Amino acid sequence: MSKGFCIFAENFLFVLERHIILEDIDPVVFYGVGNAHLQMIKALYPKLRIVARDNVLRVIGDEQMLDTFEKQVEQMRLHVLKYNNITEQDILDIIKGNPTENDAVKDVVVYNISGKPIKSRGANQQRLVDMFEENDMIFAVGPAGTGKTYLSIALAVKYLKEKRARKIILSRPAVEAGEKLGFLPGDMKDKIDPYLQPLYDAMEDMMPTVKLQDLMEKHIIQIAPLAFMRGRTLSDAVVILDEAQNTTAAQIKMFLTRMGWNTKMIITGDMTQVDLPRDVKSGLRVAMHILKDIEGIAFVEFNKKDIVRNKLVSRIVDAYEEYDRLHPEITKKYGVS
C-alpha cells in the first residue's frame, strides 16, 4: 500500500493528508453496495476527512489517528484480498481488534467470491495440495467430477495472491468432442472460447469479475488454447494444462518443455474421455509412462470415490465401466467410453 504525505496548517493546528492506495483488490467490494462500507468507516472516524476516488482514499487528520486508520484500512484490504468480500461486522471486528470469524477455518486454499472456503475434499485432493507444494510438476488424472481442474486453479490463485507467482496461465487443447470447430459462428476467438469456458467459470468463482478482467487485460492471467503455447518460455507462473488426454505426444512434449524458472505446472486429464482420432495415441498416457521416475514430478490418481459432483455422476461412471466390462468389443470399435 503506497501513500502520499502533506502537512499544512488549519486553524493554527498541523494536520496531515495521506493517500492510501487499495492495491490488488476491487474497490467496489471494499466500499460496499452504495458505498455502505465507506459511509460506515467515515462514521467510525468522525475526526478524519475521508474522500474516496477509484482505489485511492484521501484522508486528512492528525498523525496519531491517521496511523491507526492506515493500519486498520490495511487489515481491511488484506481481508478483502483473502476472502473476496468484507461485511460491516468484519469492519467492526477489525476496528475493535477482534479476530474475524473466518480466521477459524483451517486448511483453506482460497476463498470464493462469496467468501466461502475452497479446501480439499478427500484424501486425493489433499494429496494434490501437498504434492503441489513439494513438486514443480504434477499430473492429476482421474474421472470427471473429481475436482482436479477446480482445485488446481484454486492453488494457482493462492500462489498469485501470495505473490509466489507473477501470473497464471491456463490452457486446453482445442479438440472437437463430436462437433467441428469450423462450423461454430464468429471469429477465431469466438470459436475457441467455448473450449476454454470451464476455465473461465472456475476463475470467475474465485475472483470478482472486475478484478479478473483487469488481470486478464494485463496478461497476469492468461487463458489460451494449447497451440498458443508454442515458442514461449513460461517463467514465474503457475501453468495448468487441462484435458491433457486430448493432446498428442508431440503436443504435450511441446507444452512440458515450455517450463521456465520459478514455475509450477499441473497437468490434468481423464483417460476415459479421449477425443483424439482412433489412430492417435493420447500424449498424456505417453508422458506419464516416460516421466514416471523423474525427480520433481508427482502423480495423483483420482478415482470414482473422489467424485464431488452430483451423486448421479458416480452412477454414470459406474454404468459406463460396467458396460465396458461386458461389451469390450463394442467399446473398442465405437469408442463408447
247-304 pLDDT per residue, tens: 999 999 999 999 999 999 999 999 988 888 888 899 999 999 999 999 999 999 998 8
pLDDT level of residue 12 (50, 70, 90 thresholds): very low
Q: What is the pLDDT of residue 107?
A: 78
Highest mean pLDDT among 3-17, 172-186, 291-305: 291-305
Average pLDDT over residues 167-183: 68
Average pLDDT over residues 161-185: 73
Three-state SS for the chain is CCCCEEEEEECCEEEEEEEEECCCCCHHHHHCHHHHHHHHHHHHCCCCEEEEECCEEEEEECHHHHHHHHHHHHHHHHHHHHHCCCCHHHHHHHHHCCCCHHHHCCCEEEECCCCCEEECCCHHHHHHHHHHHHCCEEEEECCCCCCHHHHHHHHHHHHHHCCCCCEEEEEECCCCCCCCHHHCCCCHHHHHHHHHHHHHHHHHHHCCHHHHHHHHHCCCEEEEEHHHHCCCCECCEEEEECCHHHCCHHHHHHHHCCECCCCEEEEEECCCCCCCCCCCCCHHHHHHHHCCCCCCEEEEECCHHHCCCCHHHHHHHHHHHHHHHHCHHHHHHHCCC
**For residue 321, pLDDT beyond 80:** no
Q: What is the pLDDT of residue 131?
A: 95
For residue 95, give the amino acid letter.
Answer: I
Average pLDDT over residues 205-225: 89
Q: What is the pLDDT of residue 332?
A: 55
**For residue 97, pLDDT beyond 70:** yes
Average pLDDT over residues 107-131: 90
Highest mean pLDDT among 4-18, 112-126, 156-170: 156-170
Lowest mean pLDDT among 9-13, 44-48, 200-204, 323-327: 9-13
pLDDT > 90 fraction of the chain, expressed in percent and rounded: 52
Lowest mean pLDDT among 9-13, 221-225, 325-329: 9-13
**For residue 35, pLDDT beyond 50:** yes
pLDDT level of residue 315 (50, 70, 90 thresholds): confident
43-84 pLDDT per residue, tens: 999 999 999 999 999 999 988 899 999 999 999 999 999 888
**For residue 8, pLDDT beyond 70:** no
Q: What is the pLDDT of residue 185?
A: 56
How many whole angstroms separate alpha carbon 197 and alpha carbon 191? 11
Lowest mean pLDDT among 2-6, 177-181, 183-187, 277-281: 177-181
Q: What is the pTM of this model?
A: 0.78
Q: What is the pLDDT of residue 177?
A: 43
**For residue 198, pLDDT beyond 50:** yes
**For residue 141, pLDDT beyond 60:** yes
How many whole angstroms separate alpha carbon 105 and alpha carbon 103? 6
Give the three cell numbers for residue 247: 493432446
Q: Which residue has the higher pLDDT, 187 or 154?
A: 154
Mean residue pLDDT of the chain comes to 84
User: Inter-axis angle of helices 188-206 and 209-217, to 10 degrees?
Assistant: 130
Q: What is the pLDDT of residue 179?
A: 43
